[in-house]
Structure 1
Amino acid sequence: MTFLLETAPADRHAPREDVQGLVVGTLLVALSVQFLQASQLITGQIAGLSLLTAYWGGWSFGAVFFVLNLPFYTVAIYRMGWRFTLKTFAAVGALTLWTSLLPQVMQLSDLHPGAAAVLAGVTAGIGLLVLFRHGATLGGVGIVAVWLQDTRGIKAGWVQLGFDACVFTLAIFLFSPATVGWSLLGAIVTNVVIATNHRRDRYIAT
């Protein structure tokens, strides 16, 4: 059974619309990563785990993010279908590209961590909403969260926030309390945006 985020079969986006949605959604999330990295903050989900790993090992966020997402594609194929999986794979690849390119064309400085957290939370939340609307996620926990919302009615935002609690528990051992606190604020903003705006009665599984 394939689960698609759409209001009805007649409302399915055309391929060109999906491409636009994937580009816009991943660009917004890539921008959120720039806000976070400008203030040495982290986020939740697999992106947060990737940032932790990148900070710890000195590796590229995009490369770590891509690798950590690979095991979740098996879940996506069997639970969400090939259409969803291929879109998600494309979104992860696009985000990997944008996070490598953006630092070369823009540099953020003198950014208060509170501002960085809120801006990152809002841009990431909106970016993920765009991806959800076009039948994709950024892999990882997002795959499980969307599946649970579409099949069990459990809000995706709350599922992701639960995983975020685990990520921030690990962050306590690597970052100062202030950094973890501001980062947690950003993650809360992201998930509140998703939980408030991603409605199962509007975007249902068919």
Structure 2
Amino acid sequence: MNRTHYWLSLLEGCFLVALGVHVLSASQLLISGTAGVGILLQPLSGLSFGQLFFVLNLPFCLLAWRYLGAAFTLRTGICVTLLAIFSEVLARYAFIDVAPVVAAIIGGTLIGFGLMVLLRQQASLGGINVLAVFLQEHFGIHPGKTLFVSDLLLGACALLVMPPTQVMLSVVAFVLMSQVVGRYHQSVAQAGSEA
């Protein structure tokens, strides 16, 4: 694969996820995975989302190093850093004002497409994504299922601090994200069986 194409794909995937995260957070909706944990903890931490996202992913990078190898960990570290930077830039300079229902649809879809691009390059955004790749490689568990279950658990925790309507719209975003990732893996599996 062309190195320029590879790095552009990482930039594209991270930017799509950052944009999806920004759309959701602008409508005060929950974000999936480690990013969602970051949003829930942000008021207590005093850190920006990008800073907190970076810090939360450090333990997952150690897990990736041990079980998934140095190359995967390096790609993950680069993607985590890119997402943190893009998130900081979007939070500072981009203004998005859409209805929460529209935000859930657009945000979930953007994040799903961004994750799809990153998974295609054998990269991830750390956190639950590292766990999803680990479970796929070692136990054959579909990454979309891992992400969906973790997001449902996150949504249940969010009910303690967020209005139910916001949580339900966040779940819509989670479902759309996992559907996009799931369709990608389904098409890869079908292409492999036809080859």
Shared topology, TM-score over 0.5? Answer: yes
User: Which of 93, 96, 99 in structure 2 is aligned with 1:108?
Assistant: 96
Matched with 2:22 is 34
Matched with 1:131 is 118
Instruction: Provide the rounded CA distance (Å) in 2 between the counterparts of 1:15 and 1:147.
Output: 25
Q: Which moved more, 1:159-168 or 1:125-134?
A: 159-168
Instruction: Provide the rounded CA distance (Å) in 1 between the counterparts of 2:175 and 2:181.
Output: 10
**TM-score under structure 2 normalisation?**
0.91
User: Which of 32, 40, 54 in structure 2 is aligned with 1:66?
Assistant: 54
More helix by share: 2
- Give the AA of the match of 1:81: G
The aligned length equals 190
Matched with 1:51 is 39
Q: Cα distance, 1:184 vs. partner? A: 0.8
Higher relative CO (Cα under 8 Å, sequence separation at least 6) belongs to 1
Tell me if the contact between 2:25 and 2:31 (Cα under 8 Å) persists in the aligned partners: no
Matched with 1:91 is 79
**TM-score under structure 1 normalisation?**
0.87
User: Which of 181, 189, 206 in structure 1 is aligned with 2:176?
Assistant: 189
Any stretches of 5+ residues in structure 2 without a counterpart?
none
Instruction: Provide the rounded CA distance (Å) in 2 between the counterparts of 1:28 and 1:55.
Output: 25
Tell me if the contact between 2:60 and 2:126 (Cα under 8 Å) persists in the aligned partners: yes
Identity of aligned residues (%): 34
Instruction: Provide the rounded CA distance (Å) in 1 between the counterparts of 2:29 and 2:47.
Output: 16
Instruction: Provide the rounded CA distance (Å) in 2 between the counterparts of 1:103 and 1:117.
Output: 18
Q: Cα distance, 1:22 vs. partner? A: 0.9
Post-superposition CA distance 1:146-171 (Å, at most 9, x none)? 12223322110101111112211111
SS at match of 1:74: helix
Any stretches of 5+ residues in structure 1 without a counterpart?
1-12
SS at match of 2:182: helix
Instruction: Provide the rounded CA distance (Å) in 1 between the counterparts of 2:46 and 2:172.
Output: 25
Change (3 A) 1:76 1:86: same
